[in-house]
Homo-oligomer: A and B are copies of this chain.
């Protein structure tokens, strides 16, 4: 039997979010649908308004890497977005594993992506007749054909906000949704197109007052004098799941590591820089006109660790030092 390259399921919101209805699932956790078919209403707020949240990670050996961290961040994004509260971690893990089992390719590297919208737009006739207030949940598993490059070049792009603003945004300015991973990612994608225009591979957001934030769709970790540093999530960025895995790796290897406010000067003065996401790392060899030694060996060893040391990573990342941003 040939395995499918991609699997798509719609998941039952009544099992995954508190206090919402079961729109025709009859209690089933998921239903598999043809990934090449059309399954989404044009009147879904995910399309009309980019109104929803998402997560994505690598699947290696049939295991979704750092999945608990992704589910925890989904919960934070749901809170920041005023979406219903997630039910339990186990329900989400089970549904994701069911999709991966349908994909059934333990020897392939894949990605799993969760796409969750606010549901039918109640401002429209069709939305009113649908399930307004009930999230729409799609999960797909896709085979990765292009591995993440070993090395990348970056370019600095202002995010337009001051550090003071992004630091206090979740509490003082919740409507800006800073730090939420939402479906409204078109500006993040525009950073890639700008990077390409500048001859680089990816964009690095900075604050207007000279602090490093994050990549357009990634996290950054630098090393200086043998110590790893990453921008503290308090600067209004996503708490990178891969960055957390890297710190677990550093902890195990005895490499000093810290969350800190990182200035652009400190980034450009680093010995090594890595860019990461979805449990994949690349060495950064240049940021604008500044070159770095590209440590691809560290990246390869960290990724091997992610795939084999799940228990240790879980123990480390559920510690209080890491959990404070959830």
**Interface contacts beyond A38-B40, A38-B41: sample of 6 additional A-B pairs, CB < 8 Å, sorted by A:** A5-B125, A40-B41, A46-B47, A48-B183, A51-B185, A125-B143
When distances are taken between beta carbons in the complex, the residues of chain B under 8 Å from A187 are: 175-177, 182, 184
Chain B, residue nearest A143 (CB): B125
**Are A42 and B42 neighbours in the complex by a CB distance under 8 Å?**
no
Q: In the assembly, what is the distance between CA of A46 and CA of B189, in Å?
A: 12
Q: Which residues of B contact A44 (CB under 8 A)?
A: 40, 47
Task: Decide yes or no: A162 and B51 within 8 Å by CB, A6-B125, A42-B115 being known contacts.
Answer: no
- The digit string for A52-95, where 1 denotes a CB below 8 A from any CB of B, is 10100000000000000000000000000110000000000000
Which of these, B46, B82, B161, contacts A161 with CB under 8 Å? B161
Partner of A51, one of B40, B140, B189, B194: B189
Q: A8-B42, A35-B126, A40-B47 are in contact. Are A177 and B173 (CB under 8 A)?
A: no
Contact: B49 with A186, CB < 8 Å? yes
Interface string of A144-178 (1 = CB under 8 A from B): 01000000000001111110011001000111111
Known contacts A50-B183, A184-B187, A186-B81, A124 near B161 by CB under 8 Å: no
Task: Report how far A38 CA is from B5 CA in the complex, Å.
Answer: 23
CB-CB < 8 A to A177: which residues of B?
A: 186-187, 190
The CA-CA distance from A178 to B186 in the complex, in Å, is: 11
Which chain B residues lie closer than 8 Å to A42 at the CB level?
8, 35, 39-40, 115, 138, 140
Given contacts A47-B46, A47-B115, whether A186 and B52 have CB atoms under 8 Å apart is yes
Report how far A8 CA is from B45 CA in the complex, Å: 16
Residues of A at under 8 Å CB distance from B?
A: 5-6, 8, 35-52, 54, 81-82, 113, 115, 117, 124-126, 129, 138, 140, 142-143, 145, 157-162, 165-166, 169, 173-178, 182-191, 193-194, 203, 208
Main secondary structure of the interface of A (DSSP, over half): mixed
- Say whether A169 contacts B165, CB under 8 Å: no
B194 touches A174 (CB 8 A): yes
10 nearest interchain CB pairs? A50-B50, A184-B184, A175-B194, A184-B186, A40-B40, A50-B184, A49-B185, A6-B125, A175-B190, A51-B186
Q: List 7 A-B contacts (CB under 8 A).
A: A8-B126, A39-B40, A40-B40, A40-B42, A157-B173, A162-B208, A177-B187
